[in-house]
Amino acid sequence: MLRKFWNYLGESQSYFFRALHIIIAIMILSQIINSNATERESLSELSFVGVVTWFHIISGIALIGLGFIMSAWMLSQRGLRYYFAWTYFDFRALRADFLTLSRLQLPEAQAGGLAASIQGLGVLALLAVALSGGVWFMADLLQLPQANTLIHLHKFLTTFIEAYIYCHGAMGLLHFLLTKVFSRSHA
């Protein structure tokens, strides 16, 4: 099953992008899981909570870099308009995808379509969460009064990446399963 899934991803993604995509997804899931065991006060402690907090910070900083790498790769391969056609008020592909969905069919990935738009928004959510966490960390180190506001902003933005990763993962798995079931029933 994992091999089929890996090959399925390869139908539309290069090996580099597939690997990057999976690494980022696993790191985000680990961030979500360990976030409840982090405490700002434990940064100077050698304890379980201190180690988890530092792991959260270090992997968050890594996600900033990986988010920019993913963004650069996506934009170099397909361009800004592919993922953000709606910012140009071009809704044709989105309209076509919603019409396809209304017929209970899965739309193909296309420039400006639902899949591309969701992927673009996901990367923006990743960067917003990771950067807000990084800015909070710097503000906390510098003991700036805005640090408290920044940590609340980071936690608020985390809601969007959590919703994205759960929905995106579920939709990806559903698409994979429906595509394989549909292709088997017509083979």
Q: How many domains does the chain have?
A: 1
Cβ-based neighbour number of residue 138 at 10 Å: 12
Tokens 């800004």 identify what position? 80
Closest C-alpha to 111, from 88, 89, 94, 124: 94
Percent share of the chain, pLDDT over 90? 56
DSSP 56-98: HHHHHHHHHHHHHHHHHHHHHHH-HHHH-GGGGT--HHHHHHH
What average pLDDT score do residues 100-112 get? 86
Closest C-alpha to 155, from 64, 32, 53: 32
The answer to whether the predicted template modeling score (pTM) of the entire model surpasses 0.85 is: no
- 106 vs 22, more confident: 22
Tokens 């065991």 identify what position? 37
What average pLDDT score do residues 143-148 get? 93
pLDDT-based confidence at residue 87 (cuts at 50, 70, 90): very high
Lowest mean pLDDT among 8-12, 52-56, 62-66, 150-154: 8-12
pLDDT at 178 over 80: no
In terms of residue numbers, what domain contains 144?
A: 2-185
DSSP 37: G
Q: What is the mean pLDDT of the chain?
A: 87
What average pLDDT score do residues 68-95 get? 95
